[in-house]
Amino acid sequence: AFPRCPPRARAAVTSLVPGRTEPWVAEAARRGALIFGDVGWDETGRWDLDALSGLEHCHAFLPNAEEAMRYTRTDCPRSAAHALAERVPLAVVTLGSEGAYAVDAATGTAAEVPAIEVEALDPTGAGDVFVAGFVTGTLAGWPLADRLAFAGLTAALSVQEFGGSLSAPGWAEIAAWWQQVRTCAGQDPAALRRYAFLDDLLPAAARPWPLRRAVPTIGFRA
Ligand SMILES: Nc1ncnc2c1ncn2[C@@H]1O[C@H](COP(=O)(O)OP(=O)(O)OP(=O)(O)O)[C@@H](O)[C@H]1O
Ligand SMILES: [Mg+2]
């Protein structure tokens, strides 16, 4: 059976579904977990933030651009992020191949980081990998822009592989990417500097990139 509440943790991720209450969210928040709220397409078509039970417990809310605009009745993802920051301490709007934009309600600051350019093979799980990367950077106490860059990098690396969780990169893969882009000719130095924070995180000896990885064996039709 699924436990009523996850074990005590520093962070938890919940998928907010209109009209559905997950009682563990309030309990986990009360026990000190930072709650990260993901969301998806609203099948009811109502796009009502008040129907997202649990949003009030979220430290961060991470819709994609379309979802953010529909929930806030805005026509631009950045305006949507500012509107959402009136409901949650941290609003993060993902912009697909354009990156992500976030507003920190406490400080009133916004940050935007463009995506890295990759050949997108399979977008499955990009949102999930983004959230996982963002949680990682938040627990590590990184600045907002570094967290967006890291989350976006992990998500971008995942879309160039097939699969959802199987395509999420590990540290060795991130190290290999960082080593590779720094040795590519013609890189924009300012763009490279956005990822310089990786220097303090990654093992010095990187493996060659791209890495061989497990191939998902489900979900394909001939
Ligand atoms: N084609 C791409 N190139 C580079 N990065 C991408 C691409 N697609 C997605 N990403 C990264 O993944 C993040 C999440 O993608 P997106 O905004 O499409 O979320 P989503 O629609 O919620 O995804 P999902 O369908 O997995 O829920 C983006 O902010 C970006 O960092
Ligand atoms: Mg999503």
Residues contacting 70, CB < 8 A, separation 6+: 42, 47
For 160-168, what is the mean pLDDT? 83
Ligand 2 centroid distance, CA of 129 (Å): 10
114 Cβ below 6 A of ligand 1: no
| pLDDT for residue 221 | 62
Between the CA of 150 and the centroid of ligand 2 the distance, in Å, is 17
Residue 101 has a pLDDT of 98
Closest atom of ligand 1 relative to the 152 alpha carbon? 31
Q: Is 129 in the pocket of ligand 1 (CB under 6 A)?
A: no
Residue 219 has what pLDDT? 67
Per-residue model confidence as pLDDT tens digits over 197-210: 999 998 766 566 66
Cβ(64) – ligand 1 distance below 6 Å: yes
Instruction: Give CA–CA dist 119/165, Å, rounded.
Output: 18
Q: What does the pLDDT average to over 88-114?
A: 97
| Distance from the alpha carbon of residue 174 to the mean position of ligand 2, in angstroms | 22
Mutate to test the pocket of ligand 1, among 15, 94, 101, 158 (most ligand atoms within 8 A of CB): 94
What's the CA-to-centroid distance between 208 and ligand 2, angstroms? 31
Domain residue ranges of the chain, discontinuous segments joined by +: 1-114, 116-214
- pLDDT value for 94: 98
Where are the extended beta strands (E) located within the chain?
11-16, 34-39, 58-61, 90-94, 100-104, 109-113
First to last CA, the chain: 35
Rounded-to-integer distance, Cα 172 and Cα 213, Å: 12
pLDDT of residue 206: 58
pLDDT on residue 27 = 96
User: What is the reported pLDDT for 205?
Assistant: 62
Q: What topology does CATH give the domain 1-114? A: UDP-N-acetylmuramoyl-L-alanine:D-glutamate ligase (3.40.1190)
Q: What is the DSSP string of 26-49?
A: HHHHHTTPEEEEEE---TTS---G
Q: Predicted confidence band at 217 (pLDDT cuts at 50, 70, 90)?
A: confident
Q: What's the mean pLDDT when you consider all of the chain?
A: 92
Is the distance from CB of 72 to CB of 55 less than 8 angstroms?
A: no
Question: Which residue has the least CA distance to atom 22 on ligand 1?
Answer: 127
Residue 70 CA to residue 79 CA, distance in Å, equals 11
Convert the pLDDT of each residue in 21-78 to its tens digit: 999 999 999 999 999 999 999 999 999 999 999 999 999 999 999 999 999 999 999 9
State the pLDDT at residue 123. 86
Distance 122 CA to ligand 2 centre (A): 14
pLDDT at 172 > cutoff 90: no
**Residue 84 pLDDT class (50, 70, 90 cuts):** very high
Phi (first) and psi of residue 197, to 5 degrees: -60, -20
Pocket probe mutation, ligand 1, options 42, 93, 97, max atoms within 8 Å of Cβ: 97
Instruction: Look at 96-110, 129-143, 155-169 and tell me which has the smallest mean pLDDT.
Output: 155-169
The Å distance, Cα 97 to ligand 1 centre, comes to 6
In 3-state terms, what secondary structure has residue 94?
strand
pLDDT for position 208 = 66
**Cα 29 from Cα 32, distance rounded (Å):** 5
